[in-house]
Structure formats: structure tokens, C-alpha cells
Amino acid sequence: MAGFDKVVSCYEEAMQGLEDGMTVIAGGFGLCGIPENLITEIQRRGTRELTIVSNNCGVDDFGLGLLLKDRQVKKMVSSYVGENRVFEKQMLSGELEVELTPQGTLAEKMRAGGAGIPAFYTATGYGTKVGEGKPVGVFNDRNYILEEAITGDFAIVKAWKGDRYGNLIYRHTAQNFNPMAATAGRITVAEVEEIVEPGELNPAHIHTPGIYVDRMIQGTFEKRIEQRLVREI
Amino acid sequence: MAGFDKVVSCYEEAMQGLEDGMTVIAGGFGLCGIPENLITEIQRRGTRELTIVSNNCGVDDFGLGLLLKDRQVKKMVSSYVGENRVFEKQMLSGELEVELTPQGTLAEKMRAGGAGIPAFYTATGYGTKVGEGKPVGVFNDRNYILEEAITGDFAIVKAWKGDRYGNLIYRHTAQNFNPMAATAGRITVAEVEEIVEPGELNPAHIHTPGIYVDRMIQGTFEKRIEQRLVREI
Amino acid sequence: MALTREQIAMRVARELQDGFYVNLGIGIPTLVANCVPKGMDVMLQSENGLLGIGPYPTEVQVDADMINAGKATVTAVKGASIVSSSDSFAMIRGGHIDLTVLGAFEVDVLGNIASYMIPGRMVKGMGGAMDLVAGADNIIVTMTHASKHGESKLLNRCTLPLTGVGCIKKVVSDLAYVEIADGKFWLKERAPGVSVDQIVSLTKGELVVPDVVPEMQF
Amino acid sequence: MALTREQIAMRVARELQDGFYVNLGIGIPTLVANCVPKGMDVMLQSENGLLGIGPYPTEVQVDADMINAGKATVTAVKGASIVSSSDSFAMIRGGHIDLTVLGAFEVDVLGNIASYMIPGRMVKGMGGAMDLVAGADNIIVTMTHASKHGESKLLNRCTLPLTGVGCIKKVVSDLAYVEIADGKFWLKERAPGVSVDQIVSLTKGELVVPDVVPEMQF
């Protein structure tokens, strides 16, 4: 099935077509399950004025923090950016625009973007800064705000295993935002730890069907840990 | 973990609390993956005036058709009922109220009900009978209608394997509407082919986390086939 | 000669491209699966949650838990994935299906389609058809050009309850391949041996006829 | 004496029931996990997608792909399930979590909570807190009753940007257990050795004090 082989040979090819001013949706939670090498490739390309949609913004010297450091980001849409000091500096100076979005709303906005749902109501954020200026709907005597879907020019995700058709399986909690991000990109690029042949993944275990994946590449990953907590014994 | 053991010993206990006039959401597509024995138990109980939410309504002598035959159903919310002749008779006589709902909208309404999304916009049904009387929203120059979530007093689903905590795995395309139905019941009852011990199911393979399941029972299933098509060789 | 059901499917199959994810409705659309050109691969989606429909099972492969959207037993191809109905319709509603082929009772010059309900007849329901027509950018409708009584199914305005509005751009009938744009039908090809006059007489909606209407080749 | 962090957690733990699915925020709420009564089982949810948080890993179990919502390495219990962020927040937003425990800067008599932002301080973001307070029916806020400077955190109206409105019904502070209803705080229990006067003086919002305020027992 040649037409379904999503594997590309290098990171440059993986991010081909990324241009200044585009919106990139990235999977990952903290530094867990982030598309490390695709981010590095964006850094290498020096693409600017990007809007990045991601739950977090990496740390100062790893993950999406690298793009902040190089001033490639115009706007971040995130729920929590507390681990990144460069972030605050750029925000206070007005260089960086920030749209703080509740974590569940962010996940749902990505899912909606991929699923052709242009907007949905949620109680999350009603009566807060997040709800300001958004339409309010009342259902069963409760107030909800209308949140619009997010789609991106690119979506970049990191999976554990992927078959050549782009079917993806995530490992443990490295799943997080990746499945929704994968659905919401006009071009979705996945990097994986291991490429397998079609048929090797159980159809019922696939988290992201290949229909969402346009390009796939095998990478090696640092997988940095933010909070290494261990117990004795 | 006694508090998480969802297993009940008999079908009567599984459907305890079902009362006349309640709403029951049922998983299944056609006769595939339907909670056969839970439906039979509802028939046995003779509960009446039920609103049933299910993509289809079984056939005349199997599945939800049994409840129609016994005139237990006040209203059906379905996308396709073409396999059931009793259905039409009751509808034409005015005994049975029917809310035809597009299949994808029905699935999404159940998901929304379980996920605390009271309503969402979809292009499906805009400009048709389905959209009549529903609010219209315009996003990116396209018209969408607002669809409200569905929740039920009970949800009944059928899974392949379930562990005692109610974690469920569906088999092949018998998954269909079951995962969404499971999230949308105030009381969710699952019947499974096999009960296993917690830890036997891979956490990444679980389709329905036990948090959604209140009661679980092991059953035996007829699994009737509607269209048996085979090829030679 | 009007196209046979198989020829309609063959004509539709020419719109396929290598690597397309395709949803085929019941009836003639299903036949398109048999007409995929050699060396080209398409993956078929079934809205009950199977991406990668395989052939019908052998007697020993028959499995009640493995069916397609027509409720018929089926198999999965290598590289298939199986998802829930909501995830399946996320693919459809989100516009991820490259081509959707489905039947209709009527289409009109505005791209409206009526395909699920004839007042007075047995109530069946729309199934996934409303989601499919609202979610896809690329839809081909297959139908006979006119009813058995010679009544055109290509109209200025659909008379039956609509399945979707403004969503149909291509129709392959037994007489012609017609595109819909700017509130008109545009005659693009005619079935072998079918005259332009015949098509015009059986097309009730406004039809633009170019000087040359190529004949389909099979 | 004001309650220690551990005692606050112990008091919160009395609200647990066997079979509860619980989401614990960072800080004092996390300590509740160590106070689950013997013979009682609760399952902890982490909003990054883990239902069934286990203990921290041993050195050899450490896995970068297995973290909790605080981004710390963690393990899973037997019977855990792992889901995507959208499925995780479906549990939260859909009201399926039996108890949510989280910290706050301020709460008020209307059940409003401010917990994510102090103007002029480092911007961090709300993470999942807004979803949690909007999704849960049963929330316990843990906090010190007053700031280090003696300023009450239980107010008639929150002064900081809100995390949620009308969603908080129970507060366990270092001085008292307080419920919120009908636009008032209701003093239910006091910390051992803490006088009602002391609580009243440090509660700026309207506080209803019953004749007898039981002392918490540890």
C-alpha cells in the first residue's frame, strides 16, 4: 500500500512547508511525550512568528522553551507555563502573546478541531477571566461558556510505536495531549520510537488511526524528567 | 479493593432501580455488541414508558425489538430503524414517539453527556428536518446547528472482557456505541463475556475505565448476525 | 446505453487516488471497492468504527463482532484500526475522509441532497448519511438519472426531505457525469451511446451543456 | 494549635468513602493519599490521563513516560487505566470524580474560589484547576485560614481573579472546617485548642457560629 506509507527519511522533510506565522499544535504534557526532535527541527529552521498550541511550554533549555529562547514564538496557547522563566520575561515585555486556556478546555478544543465540532459549551471558566467576552448558554439552569475549536497548520506528536500507515500507539502517560493534537493539524507529523510493519499493531490498541497522520519519522529521544521522585525499597 | 468491585451476581440485581418512565441508553450497532441479556432483563421486569436511546432498535424478535413488542417503549432516539417492522406499526399508530438523530450526532450527544459538555455545534443536519427549531451558529462562514447532550438514568453496555473494577475492553467492531453509552448513564451496567482480575488488562488497552461502570455481570451471548456474507475459498 | 451498476462504480473509481481514505455507502457505492485500479491502494472506512475494511470473511472467519455499516460480516485489512462510533464520526465530521460515495433519491442545482426519507414510505432513518454529507468535501452521488417513470432526479430544488444542503458537487448517474457549481448542473461526460438530448430531457434542473460532451470510455 | 499540613490532610481524609475516585491537587491535597483509612480503598486520578495512581517508583521503576499531573515520576496501581487528556477531562468535566481536593488563595461566601493567579506575580496558568472546580460536585478546599500577615482568606468576595464561581462547599483550613451555603460560611469544627473567637477574628466573610463548635479529634 504505497499510498499509505507515511514514513519520511529526515526531519527536514518531516517539517517541510512550515512557514512564518503558522499555527503549530504540539502534543505532550510537561516534558512527557513531547515531540523533542520535531521541536528541534523547528528551531533549526528558524521559522518565526509562530503560534504554538501546547499544554506547557517546555523548560528554558528543552522542548518548546527552545523556540521561545530563539524568539520564534509570537503567541502561546497553554494551560500552565510555570516551569519556564524565559516565558515570563517575553510576556512582560510584550514580545509574547499568551492565551491561558484551562487544561480540559484546551484538550477538548483540539479534539473538537479534529472532529469537525466548531464550538462547544463548557462550565469551565464561566465567571472567570477565561469566560470574558465569550457567549454564555444556560442548560438545566447552569451557566456555560462557548469555546471554539482549535486547528493548526501543523500538528506535531510523539508516539511509542507507529506502523508505516501512520497508526500510532502511545506509551503510558506519554499519551496525554498527543491523540487530540494528531487530529487537529492540517498536516500532522508524528515521530516515534519504533516503526513497525502494518499488521503488527492490534487494530483495537491503536490510539491514533493513520488517517490523521501525514508524515512519520523514527527518532531517538532524551525523555527528560522534570520531577524525579523515587521511593526507597 | 472491595469498594471498587463492580460485579453483581444476577441480572435482577444488575437492573435494580429501573423504573417506569426512565431513560435507558444502550450500546450496540445493529445486533453487534448489544447488551442482549440486560435487554431481556428489562423485558422480564416489564418496565414501561421507557425512553430508549440506541442507534438501532434491534429486530422484531431480538434485542431492543423485544421491548417494542411488549410495548415497553414510549420513545426511541435512533439513527436507523429500518430492520424493525414492529417499529413502524407503533410509530404510525402514534404509540411510539421517535426522534431520528444522525448517527454521528447521536454518538457525539452521548459522549457529550458523559463528558459534561451540555451542547455542541455540528454541521450535520443543518437545513434538514433534524435542524428544525435548533439554534444556528455561524463559524468560518459555515452554518451549524446546536445539538444538546444526552444522558440516561441507566446505560447498558456489552463488553468482551471486564476486570472486577469495571474496566472494559470491547471486541472488534462490537465496540461501536458502547464506550460513549457507558459514560452517559447515571447508573451504568456492563455485561461482559469474561470477568478477569484487576491487573490482567493492560491499562493502555482499556476502552472504558471502571470509573464509568457501576455494575458488571458475566453473561452468555447469542450474538446473532444480521447479514451473514461470506466469500468462497 | 445507460450505464450498468458496475459501470457507474467503474466511473466513480476513476476519481480515486492512491492513498485515499474512502467511505462507500450501501448499494452501487459498495461496488466501487471492486473497481480500484491496479497498483492503487485505498482504505475503506465503515462508520461503525472500522478503518480498513477487508473482504467478506470465509465461512470459518465469520465473526459476529466484525461487521460493516451495512451490518454484514466483514474482515479487516492489515493496518486497519477499530474505533468507537464517536471516534469514527470524528473522522467523518472532521473532514478526514478523502472521498465519500453515496446514493440519493434526488439532488439539485444548489448541491442539496435528499436520500433518506420518502414521506408515506417505511421510516428507516438517516443512519450516518447526514454526517457523511456534512463532513466530506469530496462527495460523489451515484443514482439513476431518472425514476422508472421517467421523472428526473436532478432538480432545481429537491422535493423530498433533505439529507444535507449545499454539499454535493459531483453526480455519476447511469446517463452522465455531472458537476454542480454556481447553482447549475454542468454536463461533463455522457454514457456511451447516450445522446446529449436524452440527458437534457431527463434533467429537470438547469443544465449547462458544453459544445463537446465526451463519451465515457470503458 | 493550628493544624499541621498532615492534620489538614487527615481531616480531609475523613470525607473519603470506600470506592471513591479522587483527584488530589498539588501540595497539602497530595498528602491526603497517605491518610486513607485502613480497609478503605480509593482510586486516585491524575488529570494527565492516569486513573489509579500508585506510589512513587523505585529507582529501577523510574520511567519518563509515567508521570502525574505534578510532572513527578509515578507508578500505576493494579486495575489502573491510562487515557488521553480529553478522556481524562471528560471524567472530570462529566462529574465522575467523587471528590476533588485542591488548594486556594481565597474562597468566599458565594462558593467562589481564587487559586491560580496573583496579579503582578509570575504567570503560571490555571492548569486543570478551572476544569476541576467546574466539573466536581464534591470539592474540598485546603488552605491556611489567613495569610502570614493575618489577612483572612475566607472573604465575602474574592479579590483575586477567580478559578470558578459558586462551586466550593467545604473548606478545611488550619483552624477550622467550614461549609458554604446560602451565601454564608458555616463553622462546623475547630482545630484542637483553637478558640471560636480566633476563627471569627480571622474570617472576614460572614460566618455563622453555632452554639457548640466541636473540636476536631486526632
Determine the length of chain A. 233
CB A132 within 8 A of CB A126: no
Given this model, what pLDDT does residue B152 score? 98
Residues with Cβ within 8 Å of residue B28, at least 6 apart in sequence? B34, B35, B54, B55, B56, B63, B158, B174, B176, B177, B178
- The list of chain C residues with pLDDT below 70 reads none
Average pLDDT, chain A: 96
Q: Is D159 exposed, middle or buried (0-12, 13-18, 19+ CB in 10 A)?
A: exposed
Contact B169 A204 (CB under 8 A): yes
Contact A117 B121 (CB under 8 A): yes
For residue B223, tell me if it sits in a domain: no
Contact D93 A175 (CB under 8 A): no
Q: Which of A139, A171, A204 is nearest residue B118 as measured by Cβ atoms?
A: A139
Across the strands, what pairs with C179?
Answer: C170, C186
In the three-class reduction of DSSP (H, G, I as helix; E, B as strand; rest coil), residue B174 is classed as helix
Q: Enumerate the residues of chain B whose CB falls inside 8 A of the CB of residue D20.
A: 3
Is D128 at the interface with chain A, CB within 8 A? Answer: yes
**Residues of D designated catalytic:** 47
CA distance A97 to C160: 51
Neighbours of chain A (3+ CB pairs under 8 A): B, C, D
Whole-angstrom Cα Rg for chain C? 17
| Chain C residue with Cα closest to B103 | C128
CA distance B189 to D95: 18
Enter the DSSP assignment of D152.
Answer: B
For residue A31, tell me if it sits in a domain: yes
The residue-averaged pLDDT of A145-149 equals 98
Residues with Cβ within 8 Å of residue D179, at least 6 apart in sequence? D169, D170, D171, D185, D186, D188
Count of structural domains, chain B: 1
Looking at residue B59, its amino acid is V
Q: 157-216 in D: which are within 8 Å (CB) of A?
A: 161-166
For C120, the grid coordinates are 408515506
The string of pLDDT tens digits covering residues B202-224 is: 999 999 999 999 999 999 999 99
In the three-class reduction of DSSP (H, G, I as helix; E, B as strand; rest coil), residue B157 is classed as strand
For A13, the grid coordinates are 522533510
- Exposure string over B11-50, b if 16+ CB within 10 A, otherwise e: beebbeebeeebbbbbbbbbbbbbbbbbbbbbeebebeeb
Neighbours of C121 (CB within 10 A): 8
Is C139 at the interface with chain B, CB within 8 A? Answer: no
C and D touch with 3+ CB pairs <8 Å, answer no
- Residue A66 pLDDT more than 90? yes
In the three-class reduction of DSSP (H, G, I as helix; E, B as strand; rest coil), residue A181 is classed as helix
The string of pLDDT tens digits covering residues B143-154 is: 999 999 999 999
Strand (E) or helix (H) holding D134: helix D129-135
Enter the DSSP assignment of B129.
Answer: G
Q: Enumerate the residues of chain C whose CB falls inside 8 A of the CB of residue B95.
A: none
Contact C127 B180 (CB under 8 A): no
| B233 — pLDDT class (breaks 50, 70, 90) | confident
Q: Enumerate the residues of chain C whose CB falls inside 8 A of the CB of residue A110.
A: none
Q: How far apart are the CA of D180 and the nearest CA of chain A, in angstroms?
A: 18
The string of pLDDT tens digits covering residues D128-164 is: 999 999 999 899 999 999 999 999 999 999 999 999 9
Q: Rounded to the nearest 5 degrees, what angle is found at the Cα of A180, between the Cα atoms of A175 and A182?
A: 90
The string of pLDDT tens digits covering residues A83-128 is: 888 888 898 888 999 999 999 999 999 999 999 999 999 999 999 9
Neighbours of chain C (3+ CB pairs under 8 A): A, B
Enter the DSSP assignment of A172.
Answer: G
Contact C21 A1 (CB under 8 A): no
- Residue A30 pLDDT more than 90? yes
CB D176 within 8 A of CB D145: yes
Contact B4 D81 (CB under 8 A): no
How does strand A215-218 pair with strand A185-196?
parallel
For residue A159, tell me if it sits in a domain: yes
Neighbours of C6 (CB within 10 A): 14
- Residue A1 pLDDT more than 60? no
CA distance A140 to A142: 6
Classify the C-alpha dihedral B62-B65-B69-B71 as positive or negative: positive
pLDDT over 70 for what percent of chain D? 100
Looking at residue D167, its amino acid is C
Whole-angstrom Cα Rg for chain D? 17
CB D56 within 8 A of CB D74: yes
Strand (E) or helix (H) holding B198: none
For residue B131, tell me if it sits in a domain: no
Minimal CA–CA distance to C117: which of C70, C153, C160?
C160
Contact C52 A204 (CB under 8 A): no
The string of pLDDT tens digits covering residues B100-122 is: 999 999 999 999 999 999 999 99
Contact B211 D91 (CB under 8 A): yes
| Chain D residue with Cα closest to B188 | D96
Given this model, what pLDDT does residue B1 score? 53
CB C108 within 8 A of CB C155: yes
pTM, two decimals, is 0.97
End-to-end CA, chain B = 50
Given this model, what pLDDT does residue B223 score? 97
Contact A209 C91 (CB under 8 A): yes
Assign domain C5-208 to its CATH architecture: 3-Layer(aba) Sandwich (3.40)
For residue A196, tell me if it sits in a domain: yes
Contact D18 B3 (CB under 8 A): yes
Average pLDDT, chain B: 96
CB D55 within 8 A of CB A227: no
The string of pLDDT tens digits covering residues D10-34 is: 999 999 999 999 999 988 999 999 9
Crossing angle of helices C85-93 and B103-115, in 10° steps, is: 120
Contact C85 B107 (CB under 8 A): yes
Q: Which of C48, C85, C88, C163 to mutate to test the interface with B (most CBs of B within 10 A)?
A: C85
Q: Would the ipTM clear 0.90, i.e. be above it?
A: yes
Is D131 at the interface with chain A, CB within 8 A? Answer: yes
For residue B29, tell me if it sits in a domain: yes
Neighbours of C30 (CB within 10 A): 20
Query: What count of Cα atoms within 13 Å lies in the side-chain half-sphere of residue D31?
Result: 13
Minimal CA–CA distance to A100: which of C106, C124, D129, D174?
D129
Q: Enumerate the residues of chain C whose CB falls inside 8 A of the CB of residue B142.
A: none
> Biggest alpha carbon distance in chain A?
55
The string of pLDDT tens digits covering residues B159-200 is: 999 999 999 999 999 999 999 999 999 999 999 999 999 999
Q: Enumerate the residues of chain A whose CB falls inside 8 A of the CB of residue D117.
A: 129
- Residue D216 pLDDT more than 80? yes
pLDDT over 90 for what percent of chain B? 92
| Chain A residue with Cα closest to C87 | A115
Is D56 at the interface with chain A, CB within 8 A? Answer: yes
| Chain D residue with Cα closest to B3 | D19
Is D78 at the interface with chain B, CB within 8 A? Answer: yes
Catalytic residue among C47, C151, C189, C206: C47
For residue B228, tell me if it sits in a domain: no
- State the residue for C-alpha cell 458555616: D186
Per-residue HEC secondary structure of chain C comes to CCCCHHHHHHHHHCCCCCCEEEEECCCHHHHHHHHCCCCCCEEEEECCCEEEECCCCCHHHCCCCCECCCCEECCEEEEEEECCHHHHHHHHHCCCCCEEEEECCEEECCCCEECCCCCCCCCCCCCCHHHHHHHCCCEEEEECCECCCCCECEECCCCCCCCECCCCCEEEECCEEEEEECCEEEEEEECCCCCHHHHHHCCCCCEECCCCCCECCC
Domain harbouring B69, CATH code: 3.40.1080.10
CA distance B100 to C80: 30
Strand (E) or helix (H) holding B85: helix B85-92
The residue-averaged pLDDT of D4-9 equals 97
Is D54 at the interface with chain A, CB within 8 A? Answer: no
For residue A143, tell me if it sits in a domain: no
CA distance D180 to D23: 21
Domain layout of chain C by residue ranges: 5-208
Minimal CA–CA distance to A104: which of D95, B214, C87, C83?
D95
